[in-house]
C-alpha cells in the first residue's frame, strides 16, 4: 500500500463488505422462501394480536370492567350529549358562569383581627 492515508485500507474493505452484503441480501429478499417466511410471520403476528385482544376482553368482562370498545362507545355518547347541551345553551342564550365565591384561607393560624 503506497498511499499516505491510513484509513484507505479500512474504507476499501468496508466498501467491499457493503457490496457483498447488498448482493447476498438482495438475492435473499428476492427469493420465494423469504416472501413466504415474511407472509407467515405477518400472519402469526396478526393472529397473536387478535388472540390478545380477545383474551383481554374476556379478562375485563370477568372482572366486570369495561373494554376499550365500550369506553369508545361511551366517549362517543358523551360527545353527542355535550354537543346537544351546547346547542341548547346557545338557543337559550346561556349566561356566563358566576365568579367563584371568595373563601377564607384554611390555615392553622387564627384570623387576624380587623380594625
Q: How many residues are there in the chain?
A: 115
Tens-place pLDDT, residues 26-83: 888 888 888 899 899 999 999 999 999 999 989 988 999 988 888 999 999 999 999 9
CB 67 within 8 A of CB 57: yes
DSSP 93: T
Full-prediction pTM beyond 0.85? no
Report the C-alpha gap between 79 and 101 in whole angstroms. 30
Angle between helices 8-30 and 32-62 (to 10 degrees): 80
H or E segment and range at residue 55: helix 32-62
Amino acid at each position: 500500500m503506497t498511499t499516505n492515508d491510513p484509513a484507505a485500507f479500512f474504507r476499501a474493505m468496508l466498501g467491499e463488505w457493503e457490496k457483498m452484503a447488498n448482493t447476498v441480501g438482495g438475492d435473499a429478499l428476492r427469493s420465494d422462501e423469504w416472501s413466504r417466511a415474511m407472509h407467515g410471520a405477518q400472519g402469526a403476528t396478526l393472529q397473536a394480536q387478535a388472540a390478545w385482544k380477545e383474551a383481554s376482553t374476556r379478562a375485563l368482562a370477568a372482572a366486570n370492567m369495561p373494554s376499550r370498545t365500550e369506553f369508545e362507545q361511551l366517549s362517543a355518547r358523551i360527545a353527542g350529549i355535550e354537543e346537544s347541551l351546547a346547542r341548547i345553551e346557545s338557543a337559550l342564550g346561556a349566561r356566563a358562569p358566576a365568579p367563584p365565591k371568595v373563601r377564607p384561607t384554611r390555615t392553622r393560624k387564627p384570623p387576624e383581627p380587623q380594625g
